[in-house]
Amino acid sequence: MSLQPFISLYRYAVEPIPPFTRFGTKVCTLDLVAVFRLCIALRQMREKLHAKHCQRIVRENRLALAEERSFVRDTCALLTIVFGGEAIIGPLLGITPSFMFSGVSPGLYIAAQAIVEYIPVLPSMSLSTELPLSIVDGFTRAMLLCSLIPPPVITHTSPMIAFSPWALLLSSLVITNGGFFITNMFSFMEPTPLILTTPDELKPYGWTATDIWTAPLITGLYALLTHAQPFWAEFHGLISTALRGGKVSPMDPESARALCALILAVLFCTRTARNFGLIWKKGVTEKIKIQ
């Protein structure tokens, strides 16, 4: 299968949008899609948790009213999810987080949050809406894992970090999931007051969540295909030798990113199918949390 259509789609999606370029900012179509997708998904999650909370109150016949929602609280949760992982890993790598030297990205998320909050009614999550959006999620996540996370690591001024595959994979894991970990730990998404609790990632089978293991997996695959670090070039050569192949050459970054996007789209569609019962689960797999 040719990757050229997906490469062309990426090239079009990452072209800066004229209204924003007039102000000297490079905001592309893919950025806007990712921003509004996240804001809408978070609102749907909050509304779903609120409905469950109300049902639990009625079922248990107890008084535990939900706290009135605050735009500031919801915005803090959004910004924590987006930039929390970067804020954690940045000091460890000696890199200034992006939100410290430019307010364009935080401002874009805040504006999108305000727009989404003023939409009267949003449809609840369903298989018919989430399945096609899972494909979109695959392409936006590939942009993060392949084009945004690796460059600061592999171009680091310290050779110990620049050549370290562990630093690359750990950065991918933390940047992608660190924000969700913090918001889950402080119950930002719940309708109740903030309370310290065990994040879903630390609960039984929490590590099986798709978002957690796909982050280092896809970043590692991209590094393997593009020979982003000497380790990955040697590893690629060892795999080729073991399979009795010839000399391997690195794949160009755009093709590797497109391939990773297709793999992520398949994985996210599988997660959605599991969540909505389209794929039958039995035994131990029933305990596996796909999120």
CA dist 254 and 263 (Å) reads: 14
* Closest by Cα among 139, 131, 177 to 260: 139
Query: In the prediction, which pLDDT does 207 show?
Result: 86
Two structure tokens written together for 165 = 């595959």
pLDDT grade for 68, boundaries at 50, 70 and 90: confident
Q: Which of 68-77, 137-146, 221-230, 272-281 has the lowest mean pLDDT?
A: 272-281
Q: What is the pLDDT of residue 210?
A: 93
- Each residue of 215-245: pLDDT tens digit? 999 999 999 999 999 999 999 999 988 887 7
Q: Which pLDDT does position 284 carry in this prediction?
A: 47
pTM above threshold 0.85: yes
CA R_g for the chain: 20
Structure tokens belonging to residue 157: 């001024």
CB 199, CB 181: distance < 8 Å: yes
Question: What are 46's two structure tokens?
Answer: 């909050």
pLDDT of residue 228: 96
Please state the φ and ψ torsions of residue 172, each to the nearest 5 degrees: -65, -45
Give residue 206's pLDDT: 87
Task: Specify the higher pLDDT residue, 255 or 25.
Answer: 255
Q: Return d(Cα 12, Cα 8) in angstroms, integer.
A: 6
Q: What is the pLDDT of residues 8-39, one digit of tens each?
A: 999 999 998 887 777 777 889 999 999 999 99
pLDDT bin (cut points 50, 70, 90) of residue 75 is very high
Backbone phi, psi, residue 185, to 5°: -65, -35
Asked whether the beta carbons of 280 and 197 are under 8 A apart, the reply is no
What's the pLDDT at 276?
87
- Smallest Cα–Cα separation from 169: which of 242, 233, 234, 231? 231
Region 110-138: what's the mean pLDDT? 94
Q: What is the mean pLDDT of the chain?
A: 89
Checking if the pLDDT of 285 tops 70, the result is no
Tokens 């998320």 map to which residue? 109
> Are 262 and 6 in contact, with CB atoms under 8 Å apart?
yes
Q: Exposed (0-12), middle (13-18) or buried (19+): which is 123, by Cβ within 10 Å?
A: exposed
